[in-house]
Amino acid sequence: MKSFDVVVIGAGPAGYIAAIRAAQLGLSTACVEKWQDAAGEYRLGGTCLNVGCIPSKALLESSENYERVQHHFKAHGITATGVKLDLKAMLARKDRIVDKMTTGISGLFRKNKVTWLKGQGTLVSGGTTWKVRAGEETVEAKNVVIATGSKPRQLPGVTIDNRLVCDNEGALAFDAVPERLGVIGAGVIGLELGSVWRRLGAKVRILEALPTFLPSADESVAKEAWSIFTRSGLDIELGVAIKEISQSKKSVKIQYTASDNSSKTFECDRLIVSIGRVPNTEGLGAENVGLRLDPKGFIEVDKNCRTALPGIYAIGDVVRGPMLAHKGEDEGVMVAEIIAGQHGHINYDAIPWVVYTAPELAWVGKTEQQLKAEGVAYRSGRFPFVYNGRALSREEPEGFVKILADAATDRVLGVHIIGSIASELIAEAVSAIEFGAASEDIARICHAHPSMSEVMKEAALAVDKRPLNG
């Protein structure tokens, strides 16, 4: 029987990063992964790289370019005629990117001497060491890191066939642009996938059960996003209750109760169900070793991702906290370093959120509504992109940066952005919160001119009511 210092179950972003870091620290490491593509080939990268973050961003970029050439290039003095959509080529590009990324991880495993065990990873038994079944073989581990990720939440009574009724995986591989697209769920996945197919020509209606739009975001950002998204063509209804979903050979009919209690029916050519994700512990064998799950199915861990069982850790989507790939990656590094006897650490208050729509949304730290609920005295500074020369030159003047700082200490408590490349701009805010910076620190840092990042500086200046360019 093969024996390892560390066996990681799951090779998504959390798992493969944990495995690589453990190997870098001199620990003999194996990683178990069961993911197979349509051809039956085993693949690393989990949901994120295969049917999640990476392919969706590829299609978002392609669809945004398609919309730019159709509607936005004219402002630059560029007139394009005969523009055609080649969906097959677009999807092939997406698949090439996925292949490059997943193949790259196998190369990293070889470089760092991580053993890849192919098949389902299952906890078999424990004691002083742990036995893990990996496909057809069983291995022994001093430490086990569970990184089995998440899977789409199912809508009761609705069968996902990934032909007419799809989850995120099916929605990334339509064989044609639907004339009418329904989306259930106005969260990150629903908005991103809805945006892709709207830009490519679909009429999109998004149905959301919650009465508020993007409740996790700062209210001012959510309000601005609602205005921009609905103006651009996304038909979003809040506070709905799905009553029945039925299929014919070529369409899907959704019957629902609207927020005003009226009954409505919507018929579409394709339906995407994106009502969140749930932890994936199926086949893990938690019951074999007494591993505790909470009522929602998450593995119970402490602040350092330790379970109650010695030598077993869990990270990523399968534990508490936001289901974000980068959060899982940082947990993977932390756990590997703790196993190696170092002092791994994560600041959960400095994890950024991003919605890759157009414009993008990004935030880190506390929202204004959270600070009010907690009774924290704060000051706010906000600056729009419409006054920024780089934003105007890019024809992307929508949105703003908003900084929330402690009223007494000026320490940055939260930063919220809606605008072009918000996903890149948020990194400065993450650094500020991580290192305990004040808004004045951001205001005093020299930002390149002209650049989108100048809006971050102006928002920091606005906290003290002294913006220079607006």
DSSP 8-state class, residue 71: I
| Contacts (Cβ under 8 Å, ≥6 apart) of 12 | 45, 46, 47, 48, 49, 147, 149, 316, 317, 325, 328
Residue 181's H or E segment, with its range, is: strand 180-184
Bridge partners (DSSP) listed for residue 152: 277
Dig out the tokens for 439 from the structure: 């808004």
Residue type, 282: E
Alpha carbon distances (Å) from 176 to 30, 88, 393, 399: 41, 9, 34, 32
CA-CA distances (angstroms) from residue 41 to 174, 247, 263?
22, 32, 46
Catalytic residue ranges: 449
- At 232-247, the pLDDT tens digits run 999 999 999 999 999 9
Token match 């935030």: residue? 363
Q: Name the token pair of 5.
A: 């210092």
| Cis amide linkage into residue 397, ω under 30° from 0 | no
Concatenate the DSSP letters of all residues of 387-441 into one string. G-HHHHHTT----EEEEEEETTT-BEEEEEEEETTHHHHHHHHHHHHHTT-BHHH
Residue type, position 211, single letter = P
Residue type, 44: L
- What contacts 37, CB < 8 A, 6 or more positions away? 43, 50
Q: Which residues contact 364 (CB under 8 A, 6 or more apart)?
A: 350, 351, 352, 353, 414, 415, 426, 429, 430, 433
pLDDT value of position 127 = 82
How does DSSP classify residue 153? P
pLDDT for 128:
87
Q: What is the pLDDT of residue 304?
A: 97
3-state helix, strand, coil in the chain (%, to 5): 35, 25, 40
Nearest-angstrom CA–CA distance, 17 and 322: 18
Summary mean pLDDT of the chain? 97
Q: What is the pTM of this model?
A: 0.96
Question: pLDDT per residue over 87-142, tens digit each?
Answer: 999 999 999 999 999 999 999 999 999 999 999 999 999 988 999 999 999 999 99
pLDDT along the chain (470 residues), means of 10: 97 98 98 94 96 97 97 94 96 98 97 98 94 97 98 94 95 97 98 98 98 98 98 97 95 98 97 97 96 96 97 98 98 98 96 98 98 98 98 97 98 98 98 98 98 98 97
